[in-house]
Amino acid sequence: MIPVLTIDGPSGAGKGTVSRAIAKRLGWHYLDSGSIYRALGIACLQQNVDPKNIKTVIKVAQTIKLAFDCTDELKVALNGLDITAKLATEKTAGIASAIAVIPEVRAVLLQKQKDFQQLPGLVADGRDMGTVVFITANHKVYLTASVKIRARRRYKQLIEKGIDANLSQIIQEIQARDKRDTERVTAPLIVAKNALYLDSSDLSITQVIEKILNFIH
Ligand code: C5P
C-alpha cells in the first residue's frame, strides 16, 4: 500500500506550507486538493457559469483538463492554460467553496485526487483527505488556528503576492468559508478518527513540521 499522510483543516491554518515542506523532507508527492476546487471555480468564472446552476457546474467538472506541476512552487494548467496566478485570489476561494458543497462535483473530482497516490508516498492537503478521499491513510493530521491568526496569515500571503487585500474583509470571508465547509452535508470539514489535532496559533511553521514528523515516525 502506498503510504499517505493527510493534513486537513480550515483555510489559512498553514496546511499548504507545512504539507509542501513535509513532502519535500520525505521525498513524497504532494496533493493540494483545494487547488482542484479552485481550478474548477476558475473554469466556471471563465465560462460565466453561476455556482447555483448545479447541472452546468457538474458538466464543467466532467470536462475540465487539469495538469499539475509540483516540482517547486505549485503550477496549475486548466485546459492547457496556466492559471497559477489566479489560484490564490479570494474571489477564486469563494467560488471554490460554493461549488465544493455540490455532492456530484465532489464525486467527479474524487478520482482526480486519488490519482495522486503514487510511490514512494503522498502528502494530501485539504478538508476531507483523511475522512473521505484517503480514508485508509496511514497518518492523519488536523491542523487549525484561530480565525484572527488565519486571516492575518492570509492577508500577509496575498500582500506578498502583490494581490490587494483587506484584513476585516478576509476575516469575514474566512468565517463564511469555515461555516460552509463545516456545515455542508457531503464531506464536511471534521477531525478524522485517530488524527493528530494541532492548533498552530502559537506555533511556528518549523514547530508544526517537527510535531508532524515526530507523529509519523
Ligand atoms: O484549501 P483551499 O483554501 O485552497 O480550498 C478552497 C476551497 O475548496 C475550500 O474553502 C473548500 O470549500 C474547498 N475544498 C474542499 N475539499 C478539499 C479542499 C478544498 O471542499 N479537500
Q: Which pLDDT does position 161 carry in this prediction?
A: 83
Q: How far is CA 36 from CA 108, 138, 193, in A?
A: 11, 23, 25
Residue with cell 515542506: 21
Q: What is the pLDDT of residues 67-106, one digit of tens each?
A: 998 877 889 999 999 999 999 888 998 899 899 999 999 9
Q: How far apart are CA 212 and CA 40, in angstroms?
A: 30
Q: Which pLDDT does position 146 carry in this prediction?
A: 97
**Residue 210 burial (CB count, 10 A):** 12
92 Cβ inside 6 Å of ligand 1: no
Q: How far apart are CA 6 and CA 134, in angstroms?
A: 8
CA-wise closest residue to 12 among 117, 140, 208, 157: 157
* Distance of CA 202 from the midpoint of ligand 1 (Å): 24
Nearest residue (by CA) to ligand 1, atom 20, is 100
The ranges of the chain with pLDDT < 70 are: none
* Domain 4-216 homologous superfamily, CATH: P-loop containing nucleotide triphosphate hydrolases (3.40.50.300)
Q: Which pLDDT does position 133 carry in this prediction?
A: 98
Q: Which pLDDT does position 89 carry in this prediction?
A: 86
40 Cβ inside 6 Å of ligand 1: no
Q: What is the pTM of this model?
A: 0.93
113 Cβ inside 6 Å of ligand 1: no
Length of the chain: 217
Q: Which pLDDT does position 56 carry in this prediction?
A: 97
Cis peptide before 188 (omega within 30 of 0): no
Q: What is the pLDDT of residues 135-144, one digit of tens each?
A: 999 999 999 9
Nearest residue (by CA) to ligand 1, atom 11, is 97
29-32: strand order across its sheet: 29-32, 122-126, 4-8, 139-144, 196-199
* Distance of CA 49 from the midpoint of ligand 1 (Å): 19
Would you kindly state where each structural domain of the chain is located, as residue ranges?
Answer: 4-216
